[in-house]
Amino acid sequence: MTQTPPPPGDALRVASVPAGHPYVRHLQPADESAVARPVVRLVDPLPDPAEPARWWPPVVLDAGWLAEHADEVDLLHVHFGTESYDLEHLRRVVDAAHAAGLPLVHTVHDLVNPQLVDQGPHRSHLRLLVTEADELLTLTEGAADEVERTYGRRPVVVPHPHLLPLDADAPVGTARDGAVVGVSLRDLRPNVDGPGTVATLLAAAELLAEAGTPVSVRVDVNERVRDAPALAEVRVLVAAAPGHLAVSLVEHPRLDDDELASALADLDVVVLPYSHGTHSGWVELSWDLGVPVAAPRVGHVADQHPDPADTASFTAGDAADLAAALGGLLTAREGTSARAGSAERRDLVARRRDLRRAQRDEIARAHLAAYERAASSASARRPAGPAGSDAVARPSELVS
């Protein structure tokens, strides 16, 4: 494991899968005094020291690693990355955590895995983790309902934290005369329908123009993608767009976090290109930046920020439905004038940052409470050791 400073004596040491993901990093409180007990999330062990930014496949998600490092960890929290392994491997991990007396927490981010087409393996992983976890969390009430219907167990709902760092300069975009609607296809991962989304967006822009509400369309995509034929289709669609529509295709290297936030902040509305999924980090980053979202009716994305001025849903492939969603969002924003580059957008981002700071402390407290419940559950499951021994895995370190 990568060396970190020793935690405070009463700290709860959490091995997260993965620790380096922005979601996981932002589970720490903004104000450390906001929680009754410190939580230390251990850094990701590196699969390859030559690539320090890479955390997959997750080293922690290994029965041998857990057995070897059990005395360095108080709790295992699984978020993402199980698709790196088969079901038998994951079963051994769960058994190793139980054998080591480690409480197991799972956050159901994805009822449908955006990295996969065949969902069979993911459903098997999910059933195992939902059944075996000492504590179960998810991000929205809709997802909690679905988990309960499908697996017979209801997770505790803790909302997604911010994605834009609280101490970062917040871009507010560039002011323009007309509205700019954009979609980012990133690297065209399996749940991104690039051609379908672009075709629908172009048709929706045509309908808006006919209704007297013209918009400019911006399509962003990485130079290196997973689906080259899909990128070729997108190029053809953009090239064939009617001349009276303002349409641009921007192919660029993979953007870092600051570049991504700046590109998103330049939009008046962002369209999500998902064919399947459950929740969306893009929704959270967009909310942080004051950019409203048009989201296909996929998973529980619309539950994350359901205010109609922030999120409007449409049926994938339905241009009229998307045009109505875009028109509604643009009209809602006319009342606040929180367009890209405006003073109102800057004020909105500042207010939301204050809300996010308070929310982050609430999220940290909710996670500490979940960890303490998980520790209590694991302690009840653990066999009693010899009198006077430490065979119960230091319960005083697990429960406040």
Tell me which of 295, 310, 341 is where a domain ends: 341
Q: Which two tokens stand for residue 257?
A: 């976090």
Q: Residue 90: which H helix or E strand, with range?
A: helix 87-99
- Per-residue pLDDT, averaged over 279-305, amounts to 98
| DSSP conformation class of 309 | T
The pLDDT of residue 333 is above 90: no
Q: Which residues contact 335 (CB under 8 A, 6 or more apart)?
A: none
Residue 171 in any domain: the answer is: no
Q: Verify that 186 and 149 share a domain, yes or no.
A: no
Q: What is the pLDDT of residue 387?
A: 42
The parent domain of residue 74 ranges over 12-163+358-398
223: left (phi over 0), alpha (psi -120 to 50) or beta: alpha
Q: Verify that 266 and 376 share a domain, yes or no.
A: no
Q: What is the pLDDT of residue 388?
A: 35
Q: Verify that 149 and 257 share a domain, yes or no.
A: no
- Per-residue pLDDT, averaged over 359-380, amounts to 97
Positions of E strands within 30-161: 39-42, 75-78, 104-108, 135-138, 156-157
Buried-state track 159-183, b at ≥16 Cβ within 10 A, e below 16: bbbbbbbeeeebbbbeeeeebbbbb
Q: What is the pLDDT of residue 322?
A: 98
- Rounded Cα–Cα distance for residues 287 and 305 (Å): 8
Q: What is the pLDDT of residue 396?
A: 27
Q: Which two tokens stand for residue 148?
A: 């309960």
- Per-residue pLDDT, averaged over 65-89, amounts to 97
Residue 348 in any domain: the answer is: no
Q: What is the pLDDT of residue 128?
A: 98
What's the pTM value of the predicted model, to 2 decimals? Answer: 0.92
- Per-residue pLDDT, averaged over 103-113, amounts to 98
The pLDDT of residue 52 is above 90: no
The pLDDT of residue 1 is above 50: no
pLDDT bracket for residue 53 (50, 70, 90)? confident
Q: Verify that 20 and 49 share a domain, yes or no.
A: yes
The number of domains in the chain is 2
- CATH number, domain of 41, equals 3.40.50
Q: Is 93 helix (H, G, I), strand (E, B) or coil?
A: helix
The pLDDT of residue 311 is above 60: yes
- Per-residue pLDDT, averaged over 28-56, amounts to 94
